[in-house]
Amino acid sequence: MGGGTAGWLTAAYLARFFEGTGQVDITLLESPDLGIIGVGEGTFPTIRGTLDFLGIEERDFIRASSATFKQGIRFDDWLHAPRPDGSRHQYLHPFDAPFQADEANVLPGWLQQDARSRPAFAQAATIQHGVAIAGRAPKTRSESGYSGPLDYAYHFDAGKFAALLRRRAVDLGVHHVEGMLTGVEPDGAGGIARIVTRDHGKLEADLYIDCTGFRAALIGEALQADFTSVRHILFTDRALACKIPCADPDAPIESVTIAAAHAAGWTWDIGLESARGIGSVYSSAHMSDEEAARTLRDYIGHDAYAARIIPFEPGYRARQWIGNCVAVGLSGGFLEPLESTGILMIEAAVAMIAELLPMTGSVDAPAARFNRLIAGRYERIVDFLKLHYCLSRREEPFWRDNADPASIPDSLKEMLKQWRHRPPSRFDFLLDLESFAYFNYQYILYGMGFETEAAPGASGLSDIGAQRLFAQIRHYGEQAMQDLPPHRTLIRQINA
């Protein structure tokens, strides 16, 4: 039910998963009158595995969705506001893991260096930092195709992406029905007997997947699943979004999402092939819509654009699978655009549904497990997003409220306490609940100037060994800069 990114990705994924089994018959109902949310242009590297599974080739995807490469996120002004002398704080969250050589771990070696003079952690520990900041592509064309050593995700046009997924899903046998859902008849056991449509009468299925976006027509309106708000932790609840055409067709394209902090939230800036997707995320308790519009205009530098206001309540439903209905996408929850967890959660949910779906017996058997896993994932993402805010030294009320210990979940406070004495480790995280790895936390933590007391020798390297390792990473980085083309050049080659 629903034809946005969630609906089409779910339909295509399940069709592919059960392809050839003859056991599953999928229909997708959507109302073209209502349209899709049309934002959600930034992704996480998991999207590559998903596209691969769906049988969508990278080149076809890039051409069809006006996609570009995303090697991470550049955070501007999150630690402190721009200073009167013009100096600004910037750090990168690259997708590549820190460089690893002969079992030597670069982080303890970095921690032992003088905090006043050492380079940023991501810069010292990855070859991707220099490449991404310089706007180079993560790979290059060779005789055998396109290849390169760096991890990446994509930016894309959300409307075009949904259309591509639709074509693939229909190819895989999904039936596409256009029409408006107008009612739901309960089955008397807490689930759905049939749905009522304006255009096609009553429709019946074994499993109903609610991908109706913020409307949550099945899981929310019909089944009344409770919504857990996290507005007391993550304060942003509104976005102003727009698209700015690219004035110069030869202008470089950023190879990272830019996330620029402002007085009561942040602005995303995403480089597509011939436009930039820009949006300001803010807390309505700390900033009025007029101030937000001014902030966006100041960021863009002119007012020749039409921005759309999108209100949202940060949170999720603890029970997303009830009876024969399961929610995927915005109907199940949404925290905020930071770190692009919207599509990531869709990918996680649909992979779980595919593997847990019973082929015989009761369709709601996996509900309790699914709900625990999904709610756990949301809780962990809340901590990860809060980490971005709570270490800031900015002085505006929004940022002070974010640093107030009363707004920080106990689970995150406990980790921050431990991380004063040792860095984040893979053992801090339960893999099936976690969307991010220990090194994603490290990039945010040390990007925000957090101090961990280093134990001498913990890297397994002598001082000289550490210097040699960092020099090696620098050298590989310089080599990569020479070998990799500008981002726009690669996009052009792929689109040619």
Provide the binding-site residues for ligand FAD, judged by CB under 6 A: 2-7, 30-31, 34-37, 39-43, 158, 180-181, 211-213, 215, 217, 239, 241, 279, 310, 312, 329-331, 334, 337, 340, 342-343, 346
CB of 412 to ligand FAD, least distance (A): 22
CB of 474 to ligand FAD, least distance (A): 32
CB of 198 to ligand FAD, least distance (A): 8
Cβ nearer to ligand FAD, comparing 80 with 176: 176
Cβ nearer to ligand FAD, comparing 127 with 276: 276
Cβ nearer to ligand FAD, comparing 111 with 434: 434
CB of 44 to ligand FAD, least distance (A): 7
Cβ nearer to ligand FAD, comparing 43 with 452: 43
CB of 485 to ligand FAD, least distance (A): 25
CB of 491 to ligand FAD, least distance (A): 19
Cβ nearer to ligand FAD, comparing 36 with 491: 36
CB of 378 to ligand FAD, least distance (A): 13
CB of 45 to ligand FAD, least distance (A): 12
Alpha carbon of 20 to those of 15, 17, 52, 121, 164: distances in Å? 9, 9, 18, 48, 22
Cβ nearer to ligand FAD, comparing 257 with 452: 257
CB 88: neighbour CB atoms within 10 A? 13
Cβ nearer to ligand FAD, comparing 42 with 424: 42
Bridge partner list, 269: 258, 278
> Which is nearest to 256 in space by CA: 89, 134, 420, 117?
134
CB of 132 to ligand FAD, least distance (A): 17
Cβ nearer to ligand FAD, comparing 182 with 362: 182
> Which is nearest to 6 in space by CA: 139, 194, 165, 237?
165
Rounded Cα distance, 136 and 491, in Å: 11
CB of 418 to ligand FAD, least distance (A): 30
Cβ nearer to ligand FAD, comparing 130 with 166: 166
Rounded Cα distance, 405 and 413, in Å: 8
CA distance between the termini of the chain: 36
CB of 29 to ligand FAD, least distance (A): 6
HEC states along the chain? CCCCHHHHHHHHHHHHHCCCCCCCCCEEEECCCCCCCCCCCECCCHHHHHHHHHCCCHHHHHHHHCCEEECEEEEECCCCCCCCCCCCCEEEEECCCCCEECCEEHHHHHHCCCCCCCCCHHHHHCCHHHHHHCCECCCEEECCEEECCCCCEEECCHHHHHHHHHHHHHHCCCEEEECCEEEEEECCCCCEEEEEECCCEEECCCCEEECCHHHCHHHHHHCCCCCEECCCCCCCCEEEEEEEECCCCCCCCCCCEEEEEECCEEEEEEECCCEEEEEEEECCCCCCHHHHHHHHHHHHCCCCCCCEEEECCCEECCCCEECCEEECHHHCEECCCHHHHHHHHHHHHHHHHHHHCCCCCCCCCCHHHHHHHHHHHHHHHHHHHHHHHHCCCCCCHHHHHHHCHHHCCHHHHHHHHHHCCCCCCHHHCCHHHCCCCHHHHHHHHHHCCCCCCCCCCCCCCCHHHHHHHHHHHHHHHHHHHHHCCEHHHHHHHHHC
CB of 263 to ligand FAD, least distance (A): 18
